[in-house]
């Protein structure tokens, strides 16, 4: 099947870079760009959902465990919760990550702020503003 003459003229007039590139390669490039854009959108949606999930987990632990002021008991709860979640969902819910979630909820106690933050995070990860640990899980200083 032969291309129409006007297409050949358009192709020749479009510039040397386009004239050298076959139509299949142009279509392939377009499809690659569509796939890359879709992957980026999926990654951003997953990231936003995970930010919300981690805040809710940290906030729930912070309110129910830290709210009662039972730091030693709270650490046992976090250890137990971590063991159960890690067995069921993998290492993303280990003890260290649960404490990161608690710190995240402490740094941003208002869910509206988290919603605004979630929209701004596209490819970055949250880093807490301070290196302090939450009340539960802190090692007591020996005098």
Q: What is the pLDDT of residue 65?
A: 79
User: CA-CA distance, 64 to 58, in Å (whole number)?
Assistant: 10
Q: What is the pLDDT of residue 98?
A: 94
Q: Where are the domains of the chain?
A: 34-120
Q: Which residues contact 143 (CB under 8 A, 6 or more apart)?
A: none
The more confident residue out of 15 and 107 is: 107
CB 54 within 8 A of CB 103: no
Taking only the tens place, the pLDDT of each residue in 120-132 is: 765 455 455 554 5
pTM score above 0.75: no
The more confident residue out of 50 and 19 is: 50
User: CA-CA distance, 115 to 52, in Å (whole number)?
Assistant: 8
Q: What is the pLDDT of residue 64?
A: 82
What mean pLDDT is reported for the chain? 77
CB 118 within 8 A of CB 51: yes
The more confident residue out of 75 and 79 is: 79
pLDDT for 57 beyond 90? yes
The more confident residue out of 95 and 8 is: 95
How many other C-beta atoms can be found within 10 angstroms of the C-beta atom of residue 86?
16
Q: What is the pLDDT of residue 143?
A: 46
Taking only the tens place, the pLDDT of each residue in 11-30 is: 666 655 555 566 676 788 88
């Amino acid at each position: 099947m032969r291309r129409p003459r006007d297409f050949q003229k358009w192709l020749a007039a479009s510039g040397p870079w386009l004239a050298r590139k076959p139509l299949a390669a142009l279509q392939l490039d377009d499809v690659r760009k569509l796939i890359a854009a879709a992957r980026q959108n999926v990654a951003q949606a997953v990231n936003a959902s995970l930010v919300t999930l981690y805040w809710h987990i940290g906030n729930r632990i912070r309110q129910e465990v830290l709210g009662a002021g039972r730091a030693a008991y709270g650490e046992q709860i976090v250890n137990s919760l971590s063991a159960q979640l890690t067995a069921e969902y993998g290492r993303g819910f280990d003890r260290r990550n649960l404490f990161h979630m608690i710190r995240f909820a402490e740094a941003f106690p208002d869910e509206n702020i988290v919603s605004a933050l979630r929209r701004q995070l596209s490819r970055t990860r949250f880093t807490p503003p301070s290196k302090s640990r939450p009340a539960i899980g802190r090692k007591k200083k020996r005098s």
